[in-house]
Amino acid sequence: MRTVGCLIFDGVRVFDYAVIGEVWSNRPGRAGLPSFDLRVCGPDRERVRLGGGLERVPDHGPDALLDCDLVVVPGVEDPLARRAPEVLEAVRAVHARGIPVASLCTGAFVLADAGLLDGRRATTHWWLAAELARRRPAVRVDPEVLFTGDGDVWTSAGVAAGIDLCLHLVRSAHGQQAAAAVARQMVTAPFRAGGQAQFIPSPVPEQSDRDDPLAAVRSAVLASLETPWTVGQLAKLAVMSERSFARRFTEATGTSPLRWLLEQRVLAAQRLLEETDLPVDEIAVRCGFGSAVSLRPAFVRRVGVPPREYRRTFRGRQ
Q: Show pLDDT as tens, one digit a residue, over the chain (318 residues).
A: 789 999 999 999 999 999 999 999 876 556 667 789 999 999 888 899 998 889 999 999 999 999 999 999 999 999 999 999 999 999 999 999 999 999 999 999 999 999 999 999 999 999 999 999 999 999 999 988 889 999 999 999 987 899 999 999 998 888 888 888 888 888 776 666 655 555 444 333 444 445 578 888 999 999 999 999 999 999 999 999 999 999 999 888 778 999 999 989 998 998 899 889 999 999 999 999 999 999 999 998 888 789 998 888 776 554
Q: How far is it, in rounded angstroms, from Cα 256 to Cα 141?
A: 22
* DSSP state letters, 184-247: HHHTS-S---TTSBS--S--S-SS-TTT-HHHHHHHHHHTTTTS---HHHHHHHHTS-HHHHHH
Q: How far is it, in rounded angstroms, from Cα 19 to Cα 33?
A: 17
49 and 7, same domain (yes or no): yes
Q: How far is it, in rounded angstroms, from Cα 95 to Cα 168?
A: 20
Return the closest-CA partner of residue 106 out of 140, 157, 144.
Answer: 157
- How many other CB atoms are there within 10 angstroms of residue 317's CB atom? 12
* DSSP state letters, the chain: --EEEEE--TTB-HHHHHHHHHHHS--TT-TTSPP-EEEEE-GGG--EE-GGG-EE--SB-GGGGGG-SEEEE--BS-TTSPPPHHHHHHHHHHHHTT--EEE-TTHHHHHHHTTTTTTSEE---GGGHHHHHHH-TTSEE-SSBSEEEETTEEEE-STHHHHHHHHHHHHHHH-HHHHHHHHHHHTS-S---TTSBS--S--S-SS-TTT-HHHHHHHHHHTTTTS---HHHHHHHHTS-HHHHHHHHHHHHSS-HHHHHHHHHHHHHHHHHHH----HHHHHHHTT-SSHHHHHHHHHHHHSS-HHHHHHHHHTT-
Residue 317 belongs to domain with CATH number = 1.10.10.60
87 and 214, same domain (yes or no): no
Structural domain includes residue 167: yes
Q: Which of 156, 186, 216 is the last residue of a domain?
A: 186
Q: Which residues pair with 122 in a beta bridge?
A: 141
Structural domain includes residue 317: yes
Q: How far is it, in rounded angstroms, from Cα 298 to Cα 284?
A: 11
Structural domain includes residue 198: no
248 and 112, same domain (yes or no): no
Output the pLDDT for position 52: 85
CA distances from 254 to 215, 228, 257, 291 (A): 14, 22, 10, 29
211 and 170, same domain (yes or no): no
Q: How far is it, in rounded angstroms, from Cα 4 to Cα 24?
A: 7
41 and 174, same domain (yes or no): yes
71 and 209, same domain (yes or no): no
Structural domain for 263, as ranges: 204-318
Structural domain includes residue 138: yes
Output the pLDDT for position 208: 44
> Nearest 10 degrees: CA dihedral of 318, 264, 238, 226?
-80
220 and 313, same domain (yes or no): yes
Structural domain includes residue 307: yes
Q: Which of 186, 213, 235 is the last residue of a domain?
A: 186
Query: How many structural domains does the chain have?
Result: 2
175 and 216, same domain (yes or no): no
Q: Which of 158, 186, 214 is the last residue of a domain?
A: 186
54 and 178, same domain (yes or no): yes
212 and 138, same domain (yes or no): no
Output the pLDDT for position 234: 95
Output the pLDDT for position 195: 56
313 and 168, same domain (yes or no): no
164 and 272, same domain (yes or no): no
Structural domain includes residue 312: yes
Structural domain includes residue 194: no
Residue 84 belongs to domain with CATH number = 3.40.50.880
With 0-12 / 13-18 / 19 or more C-beta atoms within 10 angstroms meaning exposed / middle / buried, residue 208 is: exposed
Structural domain includes residue 195: no
